[in-house]
Structure 1
């Protein structure tokens, strides 16, 4: 890719994967605070607010700390995941069904999205 996006996306994936050994689990099966926040129905606001927090902190606390950008991106990914899950839940009316990898991967129709919009 022209601007090294593939390298950056790999860095993001590696960072997110590394965080799973750092999260606090409250149960043996790995229940995390984020799971509780989702059950309370505040996960989208929580993720959006945290992404904003880390973007605003970038360049201030610890200088131009790349980790702040990675944390912001991670919260944006979690927000996108929650939105995708809501879409799946709406389509299946909350009933457990086999969801194709294509739909689960977030391959929704973005044809109406203006990618040149600022």
Structure 2
């Protein structure tokens, strides 16, 4: 696959020890999403460099595209610090995966619930209502409760997409 600078990529699950162009093993986090910082053709094959990792990689061998580089159709000025809050939300979500209840079990309860997307959608929307209703009551008005609402909204989108995929399979 030919990646572009700015693409977000992850290590393919089949590869556990990526090597760079010179066949040196690299210390790379298999659970991290990396940004492509450089693209170069070496020996007529496209290679990529990633943020925070030294070495070049054959682009399609170890990595898969997670988020393509957004195409700029129109310049938009964000007025409410949305980019900052999205980064904060990303950090919050990543942190939830290392908390005791998520890290100690191979399968989270939500994963079981989401196997039925309709049930998952009802569950996530119920949690959004629960956290919105108790906002400010348990620990005062705080950003974490709002991040929980946003995180469940993302889970709801996941369940909705999964539900639509299942409906399209039946057609």
TM-score clears 0.5: yes
Note the C-alpha offset of 1:89: 2.4
Of 139, 143, 149, the match for 1:72:
149
Of 111, 114, 136, the match for 1:35:
111
Query: Take 1:86 and 1:42, find their aligned partners in 2: how far apart are those partners?
Result: 10
TM-score normalised by structure 2 residue count: 0.48
Note the C-alpha offset of 1:26: 7.3
Query: Take 2:122 and 2:163, find their aligned partners in 1: how far apart are those partners?
Result: 14
Note the C-alpha offset of 1:25: 6.0
TM-score normalised by structure 1 residue count: 0.68
Contact 2:125 2:156 in 1 (8 A): yes
Larger radius of gyration: 2
Unaligned runs of 5+ in 1: 94-118
RMSD: 2.2
Note the C-alpha offset of 1:82: 0.6
Note the C-alpha offset of 1:77: 0.7
Match of 2:28 in 1: none
Query: Take 1:35 and 1:16, find their aligned partners in 2: how far apart are those partners?
Result: 15
Match of 2:102 in 1: 24
Match of 1:88 in 2: 165
Q: Does 1:57 align with 2:134?
A: yes
Between Structure 1 and Structure 2, which shows a larger proportion of helix residues?
Answer: 1
For the residue of structure 2 that corresponds to 1:42, the secondary structure is helix
